[in-house]
Structure 1
Amino acid sequence: MSRFTFADLFAGIGGTRAAYEAVGGECVFSCEIDEDAQEVYERNWEDPITEHDIREVEADSVPSHDLLLACWPCPSFSQMGKLDGLEDERGMLFYHIIRILKEKQPKAFMLENVKNLRFVKDGDAYETVRSALEQCGYTVFDKVLNSLNFGLPQHRERLIVVGFHDDLAPDEDSFSIPTQNQAKLATETDQREALADILEDKNDVDERYYASEKVQSDRREDVEDVSAIPEPSIWHENRAGQITTRPYCGTLRASSSWNYLLVNGERRPTVREQLRLQGFPEWFKIDDSNRSRGRKLTGNTVPIPMIHAVAKELVAELDFDTASTTTVDAGTATSD
C-alpha cells in the first residue's frame, strides 16, 4: 500500500518517479509531451502517461494528490540557451504548474531546474517563480545540489525548490534540503572509482561509440601529457574548444557536440553508461540503436539518488507512514 500519492509533471523517462516510489509514493497522474520519452516511460513503468501536453490539461481533471513533482524544461534558463527566462514558450510552462497548484492544493511540491534559474534576468526570473509559488499558499525552500555529492560521478548542479502548504510548513530550523548523502564522492579517488564502476568493459562497447581517429588525435594534442592522465577519465570539451580531463563526467546534456564528453579521450559514453550516470537501475532499458535519442532522454532526466535524498526529507517532514522504505544508491534500488 502506498503511503502517499504524487503527480508527475514533465515526467520525462521517470527519474523523479523512481525516487518518490522508492519512499512509498504512488503516481496518480503523469504528463509528458515528448513521444520518445513517453515510449520509454510507459514500457519501463508499465503505466501509461496520463496526458501529453500540459497546456491542454484542465487543472480540475488532475486527481487529488499529496505531492506535486515537476522538472520543467530548462533551456530558457540554461547558460547553453538564450536566457529568455519566463518570457519564452518553454519558460512559460511554469505557469501551468501554478494552475494545478492553485486548483489541487497538494500538501507539498518539489520542482527542479538548472542552477542558472537563480541568475537569469539578474535574479528577477527566480523571484517571480518564488513569488508565484508563495501566492499559491506555500512556504518555499530552495538549494542548489550537485549529483557528485550523492554518489554519482557526474558534475550536475540543479536547483531544487521544495514547498509546503502554509498550514503544514516547517520552520527553517526543522527542515533543510539535504546537500549530500553517505555516498558523497569527496575525493578524486572516490570519483575515479565510481566512474570505473559505471563504465562498461571496453570489449563490450560497440565501435560506433568511438570518435574518429582525427578527433582522438586532436584531443591528444590538446592535453599536455597524455601518459600522465590516469584512467578512467572523461575528457570534456567546452564551447571554446578547451579540453579538460576529469575523474568524473561533465553534465549530461540532451544536445551537445557529439564529442563533448569522451571516455579516456576515445569514445562517447554508451546509453547504459548514461543511465548509470543518472542513477537508473540496470533493469531500466532504453533502446540504444539511436544514440541521439538515448542522449536526449538521459540528458533530460534527473539524478535519481539526489532526488531520492530530497524525497526522504520531504516525506519525513510530512510524517507519512514510514512502515516500508527503499534505499536508492547510484544505479540500485534495494529494500531496507
Structure 2
Amino acid sequence: MSSPPFTFVDLFAGVGGFHAALSALGGECVYAVEKDAKAASVYERNWNIRAHGDIVDDTETQMRVPKHDVLAAGFPCQPFSKSGFQRGMDEARGTLFWNILRILEARRPTVVLLENVRNIYGPRHKHEWEVIVRSLRELGYQVSSRPIVFSPHLLPPERGGRPQVRERVFIMATYVGTRTSHIDVEPSVPHLAVDGWSPSGWDLVEHLPVQPDSELGNRLRLNLGPAETTWVEAWNDFVVTLRSAGVEKLPGFPVWVDAFVHQDDLVVPPGTAEWKAAFLRKNAAFYTEHQELLESWLSRWNYLRDFPASRRKFEWQAQDAKSLRDTVMHLRPSGLRVKQATYVPALVAITQTSILGDRLRRISPREAARLQGLPEWYDFGDQPDAATYKQMGNGVNVGAAYHVFREHVLRSLEAVRRRAPGLALAVEQSAVSPDEALERHRDPTREVIARRRRPNSTRRIAG
C-alpha cells in the first residue's frame, strides 16, 4: 500500500467533519480524540480509527500524539489567565487550547486548521483571541491577526457549498519558524461569495435535496405535533388573508398579536426600552391600517388565546412568498420565524430544527447531514434522531473546511512544500469540491470491517 500524501490529527473531532475534508484531499488520520461517547462511536464507525476519549491524558505528562503534517481542531473557547507579560502558552495553561499548543510544540506540524464560533473574535473574547495569535507566533507559526470568517452558503454547489448559513471563524497557521512568524498577513480567505455565486440562488428542495417520503422510514417522527400544526395553520391564514386582500408587503418587523391596538389607544409605559417601544408603535400602526382584516383573522382563531406567548409572535423574512407552504420555518423563543426556501440558518438544536413548509415536517437527520456536507454513505447507526441533530449542530461543515484549508495551502504553497511536499502536491492536484472524492472514498472493505468490529450496529439512518 502506498504512503498517503500527508497525515493529520483530528482533535475534538465530533463525528468527523474535518476528517471528511482532509480525507477528500488524500490525507490519512493518525490520531483522533472526541470525548462525547455517542459522537466518538459515529466517528469510529465511519472512519475505522479509534477516537481517544481525553486529549489531556495523551499530552500532559507524556506526548502520545504521533507526528503529523496537519493539526485540525474544533476547540472549545475557554477563558485564559491575565497575569502580565507571560508567554501565550503559559496564559493558556489549564485550557484545552494549551493541550493543542503542547502538541504543536512537540510535533511542529506544517499546517494548523482551527475552527470556532464567530464571537471568539468579538469584544468579550478579545484577550483570548490575542493569546491564540501570540501563542501560535511564538511557536513559529505565521497566522493572521484577523480571522477567516466563512460559511458554506457562500460556496456554489459545484464547490461543495450547502444551503446553510453557518458563519464560523477559521484560524489557519503555517509553520515558518520564529524569525518570520511575527509578520502579519491578510486572512487567506475573504468573507465573500465564491466565483460570482449569489447565495440567493440556493433552492433548498433542489440543492439539499429534500428527501421524498419514500426515503424517510417513519415519517411521523418528523411531523409537527397537533399544537405546532395549529400554530402554523393560524399564521398561514394570516399571510393568505393579507395576500388575498392585496397587501403586497408584509411587515418586516416582528408581529406581536399582544401589541395589536389602535394607534389612538397606544400607551407606551415609561421606561420601556427604545427597541421595544419602536416595535409597539409599528404593531399599532400595522393593526390600525389593517384592523378589519386582522380582526377577521383573529376571530377565526379565538384571538390566539390558546397559544403560548412565543407563538403569538411572528417574524416574516420570506419577501414575496404567497403562503407558509413556500417557506422554511423555525419555532423560536422569539416567535415563528419564516424565511425564503433558499438556505437555512445554522443547525443548532432539535427544538429549532428547520421546518419545510411544503412538507409540513422537520428536516430529517439525513438532510441535516447533507447540510453539513457529509456523504450519503455516512452511517449514524441506530442512535436517536436527537443525537444526530445535536452532532450536526456541533459539527464542522465539510465544504467550508475543505475550501478554507485548500485556499490557505495554495496561498502558502512554498512554505508548505519545504516541509510537507506531499501535502503541497495533493492540494495542487485537488478538485475544487470534496464531494466526488468523498463518494469515492467509501472503501467496500470498510463496511465489512465495521461489521466485524460492531455487530448489529451498521444500520444506516433512513432519514
Alignment TM class, shorter chain as reference: 0.7 to 0.9
Helix, strand or coil at the partner of 1:328: coil
Structure 1 distance, partners of 2:191, 2:67, is: 30
What does 1:108-127 align with in structure 2 at a 5 Å threshold? 108-121=111-124, 123-127=126-130
* 1:149 correspondence with 2:154: yes
Q: Of 178, 183, 188, which residue of structure 2 is paired with 1:176?
A: 188
* 1:99 correspondence with 2:102: yes
CA offsets, 1:101-142, max 9 Å, x none? 122111120100001111152622222222222222211132
Whether the 8 Å contact between 1:280 and 1:332 is mirrored in structure 2 is: no
* 1:261 correspondence with 2:357: no
Whether the 8 Å contact between 1:153 and 1:194 is mirrored in structure 2 is: no
* Matched letter for residue 165 of structure 1: Y
Give the C-alpha shift of residue 177 in structure 1.
Answer: 2.4
Q: Specify every segment of 5 or more residues in structure 2 that has no aligned partner in the other structure, as ranges.
A: 82-91, 156-160, 241-320, 418-423, 441-463
Distance 1:184 1:299, change over 3 A: farther
TM-score, normalised to structure 2's length?
Answer: 0.62
Partner of 1:44: 46
Distance 1:33 1:11, change over 3 A: same
CA offsets, 1:23-54, max 9 Å, x none? 121211111111111111111112222x2101
What does 1:238-277 align with in structure 2 at a 5 Å threshold? 238-247=332-341, 248-253=343-348, 255-257=349-351, 259-264=352-357, 266-277=360-371
Give the C-alpha shift of residue 179 in structure 1.
Answer: 4.5
Give the C-alpha shift of residue 326 in structure 1.
Answer: 4.9
Whether the 8 Å contact between 2:204 and 2:210 is mirrored in structure 1 is: no
Between the two proteins, the alignment pairs up a number of residues equal to 319
* 1:31 correspondence with 2:28: no
* Matched letter for residue 201 of structure 1: P
Q: Of 217, 225, 229, which residue of structure 2 is paired with 1:216?
A: 229
Structure 1 distance, partners of 2:196, 2:205, is: 10
Helix, strand or coil at the partner of 2:127: helix
Distance 1:195 1:101, change over 3 A: farther
Whether the 8 Å contact between 2:350 and 2:390 is mirrored in structure 1 is: no
Q: Specify every segment of 5 or more residues in structure 1 that has no aligned partner in the other structure, as ranges.
A: 77-84
CA offsets, 1:231-275, max 9 Å, x none? 66321234322413232111111x352x44212182221111011
Distance 1:180 1:200, change over 3 A: farther
Whether the 8 Å contact between 1:153 and 1:277 is mirrored in structure 2 is: yes
Give the C-alpha shift of residue 196 in structure 1.
Answer: 5.0
- Give the aligned CA root-mean-square deviation in angstroms: 3.0
What does 1:287-298 align with in structure 2 at a 5 Å threshold? 287=381, 290-298=384-392
Partner of 1:235: 329
Distance 1:194 1:30, change over 3 A: same
Higher helix share: 2
Partner of 2:438: 333
Distance 1:274 1:64, change over 3 A: same
Whether the 8 Å contact between 2:8 and 2:31 is mirrored in structure 1 is: yes
Helix, strand or coil at the partner of 1:60: coil
Helix, strand or coil at the partner of 2:227: helix
Partner of 1:191: 202
Q: Of 144, 161, 174, which residue of structure 1 is paired with 2:171?
A: 161
Distance 1:107 1:4, change over 3 A: same
Helix, strand or coil at the partner of 2:438: strand
Whether the 8 Å contact between 1:69 and 1:110 is mirrored in structure 2 is: yes
Helix, strand or coil at the partner of 1:306: helix
Range that drifts further, 120-129 or 302-311: 120-129
Structure 1 distance, partners of 2:24, 2:378, is: 15
Structure of greater Rg:
2
Distance 1:294 1:127, change over 3 A: same
Partner of 1:15: 17
Structure 2 distance, partners of 1:39, 1:238, is: 31
Structure 1 distance, partners of 2:24, 2:44, is: 18
- What's the % identity of the aligned pairs? 28
Helix, strand or coil at the partner of 1:123: helix
Whether the 8 Å contact between 1:236 and 1:250 is mirrored in structure 2 is: no
Whether the 8 Å contact between 1:16 and 1:304 is mirrored in structure 2 is: yes
Q: Of 57, 60, 63, which residue of structure 1 is paired with 2:63?
A: 60
Whether the 8 Å contact between 2:110 and 2:175 is mirrored in structure 1 is: yes
Structure 1 distance, partners of 2:56, 2:152, is: 31
Higher strand share: 1
Structure 2 distance, partners of 1:256, 1:281, is: 21
Helix, strand or coil at the partner of 1:132: helix
Structure 2 distance, partners of 1:208, 1:92, is: 40
Whether the 8 Å contact between 1:328 and 1:334 is mirrored in structure 2 is: no
Structure 2 distance, partners of 1:288, 1:230, is: 33
Structure 2 distance, partners of 1:182, 1:119, is: 25
* Matched letter for residue 162 of structure 1: M
